[in-house]
Amino acid sequence: MPETTEPTRLTFAIISHPDAGKTTITEKILLFGGAIHTAGAVKSGKNLRSTVSDFMAMEKERGISISTSVMGFNYRGRRFNLLDTPGHADFSEDTYRTLTAVDSALMVIDSVKGVEERTRQLCEIARMRATPIMTFMNKLDREGKDPVELLDETERELDLKVSPLSWPIGQGSEFKGVYSLRTGRIVLFKPHQTQDFPELVIEDIGDPKLDQAVGEHLARKLREEMELVRGVHPEFRVEDYLSGRVTPVFFGSALNNFGVQELIDALAEMAPAPLPKPTVEGGLIDPDFKEMSGFVFKIHANLDPRHRDRVAYFRICSGKFERNEMYYHTGTGKSFRSSNPTAFMAQNRDIIDVAYPGDIIGFHDTGTLKIGDTLTQGAKFRFKGIPRFAPQIFRIILNTDPLKSKQFQKGLEQLAEEGVVQLFIRPQTNQRILGVVGQLQLEVVQYRLEHEYGASCKYEPVDFTTACWITCPDAKKLDTFLQRFSSRIVFDKDERPVFLAENRWVLDRTLKDFPEIKGYATSDLEDPRNSLR
């Protein structure tokens, strides 16, 4: 960041399976970072049951923060911007989008359960952009999996090299502390003590002080494990973490504040500064680029009737953002000015005057901004879009009140733009098909159509559970394919054909039978990694 004394930003999100401890670790990071002073300030979204009324009640109670809020604080010379992501799996798409706005991720794994489904999915998304990932193995105070096994499982399941930077001494009721491979310090765990853990500094792991502190048996075990670790894992290099090839691993217990200091220090020291971001035109925009630029990664409509507004979440990628400046909307060519951009800290929304690369700000907007839109000071480029991912649940949506068909159409289009659902058109019948990741999204659409647009709808089932975007260099062959499978073909909002299938087997089989047709797991058709063959 040129010409400023601003602290370098550290913009990151936490990825984990529900219950692994994301809320607890978020709170502890805020506590250690000095952003909050008491525990209990961060609410978990996990208690949200799968009904729309629970969701709405929660939205009202928590205001903007349920889907994505940004928590910012300064720590050790850096500005941490921690982007919260929805706790409910039905809103995974929000999380996917949030991951495009961060420069690194913290992965929390429950050491009792190991790598779980949601972690696997989110890790895969993070890796699509080679996002650096730091790992925290949580709940070491419980009898969990063996640390060697946990590391093996992480490597195997996530196809990601691991490099332990700390190592647990015992586990569960025998948990005695953590040895830092970086500093040689041993922090000794005291159950029910939440801060100021005693420390032992040893020059060498053979030091008899270790046996006195943790007992002979665990000291011997640690020495053996260290020998094994050093034999198996090459020495950690920060470049490998920054390039997304290796994840440094820390062990601890978020609930007991244990290992959190090491983690937050490692983040401050190693996590990347704002990274250059790719554009549709092919280049990268460096944070040092003098013009302000950034993109919208999320639109959130506040459901609280007292504050009915839409907030566009904007990630600054370069230059300096200034309130009331006129910016250029590269999609429409129109100008855009924001007189009340806001910063987020949990539930508070304060107006900000300036912001820098890595910062996330909110624009109150009446509908001019869409997900993926780029704003600049005049430069004509667009940041690479946020791909849409193949949904898993599909429903035909029908308007049930013919007098309200305009409202129905407008509402549906806006909700699709906001990213609440994906809207597809089936050309054969002109039906509208919604695609979602979770059932709750469908209920939200129905509720919001009724309450915000005065329209009513009903759903009809379809047999599909998976989809892929398709292309073919030969327009004639593509046309033949589209004709042949017309009952399975829909078009997305950019009018690109999407093939729907009952299951993955049918999808793979069809692509195999038509080798000239290319299938893609996301709407990003330029990225060869999305190709299904």
Query: Which residues of this chain interact with ligand G4P, rule CB under 6 A?
Result: 16, 18-24, 44, 46, 87, 138-139, 141-142, 253-256
Nearer to ligand G4P, 142 or 161 (CB): 142
Nearer to ligand G4P, 175 or 469 (CB): 175
Q: How far is the CB of 49 from ligand G4P (least distance, A)?
A: 14
3-class DSSP state of 164: strand
Q: How far is the CB of 28 from ligand G4P (least distance, A)?
A: 9
Nearer to ligand G4P, 87 or 362 (CB): 87
Nearer to ligand G4P, 27 or 359 (CB): 27
Nearer to ligand G4P, 110 or 418 (CB): 110
Q: List Cβ neighbours of 61 (8 Å cut-off, separation of 6 or more).
A: none
Q: How far is the CB of 417 from ligand G4P (least distance, A)?
A: 29
Nearer to ligand G4P, 46 or 76 (CB): 46
Order of strands, sheet of 70-75, starting from the edge strand that comes earlier in the sequence:
70-75, 78-83, 8-16, 104-110, 133-138, 246-251, 161-164
Which of 103, 83, 110, 107 is closest to 94 using CA atoms? Answer: 83
Cite the DSSP H helix spans in 71-189: 92-99, 117-128, 147-158
Nearer to ligand G4P, 48 or 457 (CB): 48
3-class DSSP state of 384: coil
Give just the sign of the alpha carbon dihedral 450, 453, 454, 455. negative
Q: How far is the CB of 290 from ligand G4P (least distance, A)?
A: 40
Q: How far is the CB of 87 from ligand G4P (least distance, A)?
A: 6
Residue with tokens 């909110």: 362
Q: How far is the CB of 498 from ligand G4P (least distance, A)?
A: 33
Q: How far is the CB of 193 from ligand G4P (least distance, A)?
A: 14
Which of 193, 210, 142 is closest to 171 using CA atoms? Answer: 142
Which tokens go with 500? 């729907």
Residue with tokens 């060869």: 528
Which of 190, 187, 220, 188 is closest to 205 using CA atoms? Answer: 220
Nearer to ligand G4P, 20 or 390 (CB): 20
Q: How far is the CB of 121 from ligand G4P (least distance, A)?
A: 15
Give just the sign of the alpha carbon dihedral 213, 217, 221, 223. positive
Nearer to ligand G4P, 61 or 413 (CB): 61
Q: How far is the CB of 160 from ligand G4P (least distance, A)?
A: 20
Beta strands 133-138 and 104-110 are parallel
Nearer to ligand G4P, 18 or 114 (CB): 18
First-residue to last-residue Cα distance in the chain:
41
Q: List Cβ neighbours of 38 (8 Å cut-off, separation of 6 or more).
A: none
Please give the backbone phi and psi of residue 28, each rounded to the nearest 5 degrees, phi first: -70, -35
Q: Count the Cβ atoms, other than its own, within 10 Å of residue 225.
A: 18
Q: How far is the CB of 47 from ligand G4P (least distance, A)?
A: 9
